[in-house]
Amino acid sequence: MNAHAPHTAEQFDDAAQQRDAATLGMWAFLATEVLFFGVLFAAYTVCRVIWPDAFASASRHTDLTLGGLETAILLTSSFTVALAVRDVQLGGRRLATGLLCGTAVLGLVFLAIHGFEYYHDYKAAVIPGIRYEEVGGFAAQERLFFFLYYVTTGFHALHVSVGVVVLLTMALRTHRAAFGPGYHTPLEVSALYWHLVDIVWIFVFPLYYQVGRA
C-alpha cells in the first residue's frame, strides 16, 4: 500500500504532487513578502511626495559607491545560485556545492558592507532613535527618510541573513548527495527565495541611493 518514494511525505500521493505543493507554497510565501515590503515602499512614496526636498537632501547621505557594490554582489549571487540549481539538475554535485557556498559568502560580504555603512551612519549620527543629531532646515522630515531607510534595509538584511543560513544548509545537503536530477525541490525553492531577496534590493537601491541625488 505505502509504496512511497523515500523523499515523499506521507500526505502526498507521489513526488510530482509534493514538488507542485512545495513550489506553489514558496510562490505564495513570496507574494506575502512582496506585501510586507510593499507597505514600506508605499510609506516611502507618500513621505517622499509630502517632503520632496527633505528626502532629496537626506538621500545624499547614503553611499552610492557602496550601494552600487552591494547591488553588483547580490546580482552576482543570484546568478551563482541559479547555476548551482542547474548543475544539480544535470547531476552535478561538487560544483553545485561550491556555487552554493560561494552564494552564501556573497551574502555575507553584502551584510558586511552594509554593516560598514551602518557604522558610518552611526558616526555621522543619522540613525533615528539610536544616534541622531538634527542639522539643517529639514531635519525633522529627514529623520523620516532615515527611519524608513533603516526599517527597509534592516528588514532586507534580516532576509539576507536567513537566506545565508538556508543556502549553507542547502550546500551541506548537496554535498551529502541529498539532491539529484530526480529530486531537488528544496534547493529550487531556496533559490527562488534568494532571487526575491535580490529583487527587493533592486527596488531599495534606486529609491534610497539614487533618486533625487543630483
Partner 1 sequence: MLPAEQAAPSYLTDGNTLRSWLATHDHKRIAILYAVSITFFFFLGGIAAALIRLELATPAGDLMSADTYNKTFTFHGVVMVWFFLIPSIPNTLGNFLLPIMIGARDVAFPRLNLFSWYLYVAGGIFTVACLLLGGVDTGWTFYTPFSTMFSNSNVMLTVVGVFIVGFSSILTGLNFIVTIHTMRTTGMTWFRLPLFVWSMYGVSLVMLLATPVLAMTLALIAAERLLGVGIFDPALGGDPLLFQHFFWFYSHPAVYIMVLPAMGVVSELITAGVRRRIFGYRFMVYSIIGIAVIGFLVWGHHMFVAGQSMYASIVFSILSFIIAVPSAIKVFNWTATLYKGDIAFGAPMIYALGFVGLFMLGGLTGLFLAATALDVNLTDTYFVVAHFHYIMVGGSVMAYLGGIHFWWPKITGRMFSEAWARFAAILMFLGFNLTFFPQFLAGAEGMPRRYHQYPAEYGLLNILSSAGAVLLAASYLLPIGYFLWSLRFGERAGNDPWGAEGLEWTTSSPPPTHNFEAPPVVTEGPYAYTHP
Positions in the binding site for partner 1 (CB under 8 A): 1, 9-13, 17, 20-21, 24-25, 28-29, 31-33, 35-36, 38-40, 42-43, 46-47, 50-51, 54, 128-130, 140-141, 143-144, 147-148, 151
CA distances from 8 to 71, 77, 131, 173, 182 (A): 38, 30, 52, 17, 12
Q: How far is the CB of 99 from partner 1 (least distance, A)?
A: 28
How far is C-alpha 115 from the geometric centre of its chain's CA atoms?
15
Closer CB to partner 1, 84 or 160, in the complex:
160
b/e string for 148-161 if b means 16 or more Cβ within 10 A?
A: bbbebbeebbebbe
Least separation, in Å, of the C-beta of 143 and partner 1? 6
**Residue 35 or 214 having the CB closest to partner 1:** 35
Report, in Å, the least distance between residue 35 CB and partner 1. Answer: 4
Task: Give the residue with the Cβ less far from partner 1, 60 or 131.
Answer: 131
- Are 209 and 62 spatial neighbours (Cβ–Cβ below 8 Å)? yes
Instruction: Give whichever of 44 and 209 is closer to partner 1, judged by the CB atom.
Output: 44
Q: For residue 130, with 0-12 CB atoms within 10 Å meaning exposed, 13-18 middle and 19 or more buried, which class applies?
A: exposed
- Least distance to partner 1, CB of residue 26, Å: 10
- Judged by beta carbon, residue 38 or residue 68, the one nearer partner 1 is 38
State which residue, 125 or 130, has the beta carbon closest to partner 1.
130
Nearby residues of 209 by Cβ (< 8 Å), 6 or more positions away: 59, 62, 63, 64, 67, 68
Provide the residue type at 45 as one letter: T
Q: In the complex, what is the shortest distance from the CB of residue 69 to partner 1, in angstroms, rounded to a whole number?
A: 28
Distant-in-sequence, close-in-space partners of 181: CB < 8 Å, separation ≥ 6: 88, 89, 90, 91
Q: Is 132 helix (H, G, I), strand (E, B) or coil?
A: strand
Minimum gap (Å) between residue 72 Cβ and partner 1: 28
C-alpha separations of 103 from 75, 86, 110, 163, 182 in Å: 10, 14, 11, 10, 23
